[in-house]
Amino acid sequence: MEGVVLPEVEVNTYRKANPLLARVILNKPLVKKEDTEVCHIVLDADAMNYREGQSVGVIPPGVNEKGNPHAVRLYSIASLGSRTPGAEKLSLTVKRVVYQNDKGEVVRGVCSNYLCDLKEGDVVSLTGPAGRKFLLPVDEDIHRPYVFMATGTGIAPFRAFLQRLFRVVKDFREPVFLFMGVRYEDELLYDSEFRSYQKENFHYYTALSRQQKNPDGSRKYIHHVMAEKADELFPLLQNPRTLFYMCGLKGMESGFDYAIKAIAAQKGVDGEELLKSCQSRLESETY
């Protein structure tokens, strides 16, 4: 992001050879359905100096099919930085991965199932923290507009961002938009927490792809909702101080381009120029 000063952060303080052993404090389901389970996991990892937007690595126990130790899996941190007074301890948002492969065999994600099965008191091996770019600006420059876009567990870093903006930063009054996309309403993670931010400058919108339809009958995704909010978003798109953050499924990237161009068309401005400007202020973590 051009012209934005980010805080200096520690990275890779703990590695696979010298992991941090963190005790499980809490493991509770956020969503638990026949085909979907998402857990909120809290770990005592105070020794690690991490910041909102960073990730931690989890080392699942055991070995892979080749007999080698499992690779480290990265998870976004869903809580305030560890050096923030009064912060919740390190929190992760983990979806249990279970699917059928081409042979009809049930495949269970090694790390996600390990994490979702953890009990209070269990010990987890962590690496990290990781990441230098997916961060809010330094405190001196944090007062600016933001547009956050997330799908599924991609909401994790934005929970932490919103906690900093609305619970830690004093007199934060700039507009903040959060666009969250899931299949069904009961899969909206941390929904009640976000709705508790009764602030005039906070705008929270959701896209439910299996419940909502566009006028043409197609499924509704985040970029469709963004285009519908053109009147509210257009001033932020034009404001060079607005920052955009995206986390979740890779399809969001093309969706972002669609939304910006759709808004530009509604407002009669050059879509390519507006998109170029917005992309220069975008930070994304997609998969």
The answer, yes or no, to whether residue 12 has pLDDT greater than 90, is: yes
Class of the domain covering 20-130:
mainly beta
Q: Which run of H or of E encompasses 99?
A: strand 98-100
- The pLDDT confidence band at residue 123, using thresholds 50, 70 and 90, is very high
Residues pairing with 14 in the sheet: 128
> 64-95 as b/e, with b when 16 or more CB fall inside 10 Å?
eeeeeeeebbbbbbbbbbbebeebebbbbbbb
DSSP, collapsed to helix, strand or coil, labels residue 102 as coil
Check if the beta carbon of residue 99 is closer than 8 Å to that of residue 107: yes
The span from the CA of 9 to the CA of 129, in Å, is: 9
Taking only the tens place, the pLDDT of each residue in 36-69 is: 999 999 999 999 999 999 999 999 999 888 899 9
For the chain, percent of residues with pLDDT exceeding 70: 100
C-alpha to C-alpha distances, 3 to 10, 117, 146, 243, 277, nearest whole angstrom: 21, 43, 15, 11, 13
Residues pairing with 208 in the sheet: 182
Residues in contact with 117: Cβ distance below 8 Å, sequence separation at least 6, in sequence order: none
Check if the beta carbon of residue 175 is closer than 8 Å to that of residue 201: yes
Q: Which run of H or of E encompasses 166?
A: none
Sequence spans of domains, the chain: 20-130, 139-286
The span from the CA of 221 to the CA of 175, in Å, is: 22
DSSP, collapsed to helix, strand or coil, labels residue 43 as strand
- The pLDDT confidence band at residue 3, using thresholds 50, 70 and 90, is confident
Check if the beta carbon of residue 189 is closer than 8 Å to that of residue 206: no
User: Between 2.40.40.20, 3.90.79.10, 1.10.340.30, 3.40.50.80, what CATH number should domain 139-286 receive?
Assistant: 3.40.50.80
Angle at 70 between CA 150 and CA 32, to 5 degrees: 45
The answer, yes or no, to whether residue 1 has pLDDT greater than 90, is: no
Taking only the tens place, the pLDDT of each residue in 186-197 is: 999 999 999 999
The answer, yes or no, to whether residue 103 has pLDDT greater than 90, is: no
